[in-house]
Structure 1
Amino acid sequence: MKLVAGDMLWTSVDRINEQYSYLNNHIECDVLIIGGGITGAITAYYLTKAGINTVIVEKNRIGYGSTRASTSILQYEIDTDLNGLSAMVGEENAVNAFKLCEQAVYDIEKIIGRLDDKSDFELKECLYYTDNPSEVSALKKEYHLRKKHEFDVEFLDREQAKSRFTLPIEGGIYSRKGAAQIDPYRFTHALIRQSLEQGLTVFENTEIDSILPQENYVMLQTTNNFNIKAKKIIIATGYEAKKYFNKKIATFSRTFTIVTKPVNDFSGWYNTCIIRDNKHAYNYLRTTGEGRIIFGGEDEGVGKESSKMSNLSNNDLVSKQKYEILFNKLKLYFPEIKDIEVDYKFSGIFATTKDGLPYIGGYEQMPNCYFNLGYGSNGILYALLGGQLLTDLCLGKGREELKLFRLNR
């Protein structure tokens, strides 16, 4: 599949010169991470902080896969709302998942405080809304469940929403805590720089050709015929990891994003909060530190790997139509913002699980192999949870939360 296509914001505006050598000899390590995107970087940060001898291998360049197409909205909310998730996994587990995501936002804030680059991180408030009057009662039910479990939320009816937003809102849940935004490419490199000081080794342009799990270790071979012997491996290759499973683990879609040039004001956008609607293929909005608007959505299922949507180019008519739809919606939503001009257009493969939760943990068919797969809209927060949980697992401290994210659920 063509994971990303188009003009990427982050790798265009960020000037990062770090490069890493490719593997050219046989090595051994305690933990090998396959995948040098934001998930691999977060996982390496926690492992090296715990004193574990860790190596990252990335088949391309660090941060040049799905990471550079991430809109990097960090929210305690997940793809499945709290009521829906409660019906799937029980209310206690559902609340726990939301609370873990909420805490993960503030854990990232703490990490940012230790790094040499703040990565345009900013705590934000967020709005989850509907423009359909028939869905307001369901949204109120969602609000009451969140309020019951002490999430810092208020409900906005149509008139209250009109006083804050120019969007067509019939009802909304406004959350005052548990959300943030970040530059994922800068964050990835800042994490790796910190981890290098803690003993991390990184190899770019190093592709794994075979994985042979053994009773007490894993033997791997690169496409250049160099061997890696690791006590454990963590696969953090995102959507490419599906090749390791003999069952369907997620539904894949392509999501489209436009990014504006910096605008002069944000009239009609209360507190420049993160915004998301409640549609099945939802739209989402955020800003950047330099005043750009990022607007994404209009998802389309990709089908098979050989399908047109799986390999869609940015110049295809479908892509152009999607970007035009997003641009027209953006102007409709914010008629008082007069200087909207699109600067970047890109798309990327996106995966969702049935319950909206990630896959974190071991896989019985592959001993000593673990997965950190942050499928869903909360990929970065899930990556952080995976980094914490798998580090504890490598230290012999299995945690109860792993049951919630297990691969065979």
Structure 2
Amino acid sequence: MLTKSKDLRTGNPLWLSQPVPRILTSKLTKDQRTDIVIIGAGITGAMAAESLSAAGFKVILIDRRGPLKGATSASTALLQYEIDTPLTVLSGQIGRDKAMRAWRRSKLALESLHARITSLGLKCDVKPVCSLFLAGNVLDADGLKLEAKNRNEIGLYTDYLTRDMLKNDHDIRRIAALKAYDNLSVNPVKLAGGFLLKAIEHGAQVFAPVTAERVETHRDGADVITAEGPVIRARYVIYASGYEMPKDIRTRRHSLNSTYAIATRPQPDKLWPQKCLIWEASDPYLYMRCTADGRVICGGEDEEFEDEDKRDSMLTDKVARLEAKLKDMFPQLDTKADFAWCGSFGASTTGLPTIGAVPAKANVFAIMAYGGNGITFSRLGAELLTTTLTGGQDPEADLFGF
């Protein structure tokens, strides 16, 4: 098998309690020829398939589970341009110029995603929201002041909020926070399903369940050999397999973690003012958002991933911790979990994704949209590879390559 099989989520994700888009799939019964094979039919594969099929490529997606059945439904879907690694910290890791370009491109990718959602008319509960980045063990109040200064110097307007401003405007009792604008909240399953349906309208095909055993490359393209027997011959192959990392492209920049999430009952009259996305300048950090029907989703309590059994065994304890932390921040809320789940997710040492040509694998590409900005990075990956495969050159491609 091309990737090590994992149970990417456990529990009862909120999004699966709501109507899930129905995606037409076919059985793979014979060899296929196409321009592009995308391995993975979650949010990353969906965005890439829509973009590439709209650009005129013949696209086939395959997935060993089926569309939308992997980690996509475990996402809490706080769509931010703010990268996990603060601008001040990232500048120390990769240099100010590259850090500045990465943050700006993340902002552009989120704006592009919102524009594409609007252009296609996708019904995914999308809503523009502000975000609050609370002082923590990574950046204290002085660290946040410097972070705001650096962001504003490169055109990413950010407000610094004092303790009083944060209490008066958002009813949050913390020493300081940064307030950013033009982020998004969505239903991630509806979003991914919408992109898949549009890709199918453009002529893309989805075969599932299909397991990719290996990829064999040659001068004119690459062949995906499947466990089911048929071979898919293509000009290009794209790995969009999420947190099941392909065995032949592991890098030391990536790690696998476990995260936990809850969703409360609907209580729209008790939500915090302005309903901003909230996350902390801490490691690991707590994060929360509101849903269209007035629930609160709260996540965090991250642990280094060891195996699914250990991850799942901690769910009850982690849920109790999240309920308590949410109650401490917002005493007026009923924080008892109406839904609770856990999942595995990838992280990188810089907080940046890895997107581009796979070394020593001709005609093979990957979108490894790892980190808290996974959906934003999935859009970035779709843009970068569409530009590359149509003969263009993206000016930021060097920031994200292998």
TM-score band, normalised by shorter chain? over 0.9
How far apart in 2 are the matches of 1:154 and 1:384? 26
Q: Secondary structure at the match of 1:108?
A: helix
Within the candidate set 321, 324, 328, 2:320 is matched to 324
TM-score calculated relative to the size of structure 1: 0.93
Task: Give the secondary-structure state (helix, strand or coil) at the position aligned to 1:48.
Answer: helix
Q: Deviations over 1:229-282 (max 9, x none)?
A: 000010000111242225434121100000111113235x23000000111100
SS of aligned partner of 1:163: helix
> How far did residue 302 of structure 1 move?
1.1
Aligned partners of 1:253 and 1:349 also within 8 Å: yes
TM-superposed CA distance for 1:202, in Å, is 1.0
What is the rounded CA distance, in whole Å, between the counterparts of 1:7 and 1:221 in structure 2?
A: 34
1:84 aligns to what? 89
**C-alpha contact 1:263 1:340 (8 A) present in aligned 2:** no
Residues 79-158 of structure 1 mapped to structure 2, 5 A cutoff: 79-130=84-135, 135-158=140-163
Aligned AA (2:141):
V
Alignment root-mean-square deviation, CA: 1.7
Match of 1:281 in 2: 284
Is the aligned partner of 1:356 residue 2:351?
A: yes
8 Å contact from structure 1 (residues 156, 172) kept in 2? yes
**3-state DSSP of counterpart to 1:25:** coil
> Retained in 2: the 8 A contact 1:58–1:203?
yes
Q: TM-score, normalised by structure 2?
A: 0.95
Instruction: Indicate the residue corresponding to 1:192 in structure 2.
Output: 196
Residue 388 of structure 2 corresponds to residue 383 of structure 1: no
Q: Quick check: 1:296 aligned with 2:291?
A: no
Cα displacement (A) at 1:114: 3.1
1:45 is displaced (CA, Å) by 0.9
Correspondence for 2:3 = none
1:156-305 correspondence runs (5 A): 156-177=161-182, 179-245=183-249, 247-267=251-271, 269-303=272-306
Range moving further from structure 2, 243-252 or 82-91: 243-252
Distance 1:215 1:183 in 2: 41
Code of the aligned partner of 1:374: A
Aligned-partner Cα distance in 1 for 2:138–2:24: 52
Letter in 2 for 1:330: L
Contact 1:6 1:313 in 2 (8 A): no
Distance 1:294 1:145 in 2: 30
Please give the alpha-carbon distance, in whole angstroms, between the structure 2 residues aligned to 1:358 and 1:150. Answer: 22
Other structure's SS at 1:238 match? coil
Aligned mates of 1:252, 1:131 — CA distance in 2? 23
Query: What residue in structure 2 maps to residue 44 of structure 1?
Result: 49
Shift of 1:112: 1.6
What amino acid is the match of 2:317? Q
Q: Which runs of 5+ in 2 are unaligned?
A: 1-5
Deviation, 1:96, is: 1.5
Residue 319 of structure 1 deviates from its aligned partner by 1.3
| Superimposed CA distance per residue, residues 22-71 of structure 1 (whole angstroms, 9 cap, x where no aligned partner) | 21110001111000000000001110111111111111120110101011
Which secondary structure does the structure 1 equivalent of 2:270 belong to? coil
Letter in 2 for 1:34: I
Q: Which runs of 4+ in 1 moved over 4 A?
A: 131-134
* Aligned amino acid, residue 369 of structure 1: V
1:343 aligns with 2:341: no
CA offsets per residue over residues 262-313 of structure 1, 9 Å max, x none? Answer: 113235x23000000111100111111111111000000013xxx4xx4346
The reply to whether residue 59 of structure 1 matches residue 54 of structure 2 is no
CA distance in 1 between partners of 2:251 and 2:97 (Å): 28
Larger mean CA deviation between 146-155 and 270-279 belongs to: 146-155
Which of the residues 16, 19, 26 maps onto 1:14? 19
Residues 188 and 359 of structure 1: is their aligned pair in 2 closer, same or farther, counting only changes over 3 Å? same
SS at match of 1:221: strand
Q: What SS class does the counterpart of residue 216 from structure 2 fall into?
A: strand
Q: Distance in 2 between matches of 1:276 and 1:369?
A: 36
| Equivalent AA in structure 1 for residue 195 of structure 2 | L
Q: What 5-or-longer segments of structure 1 have no aligned partner?
A: none
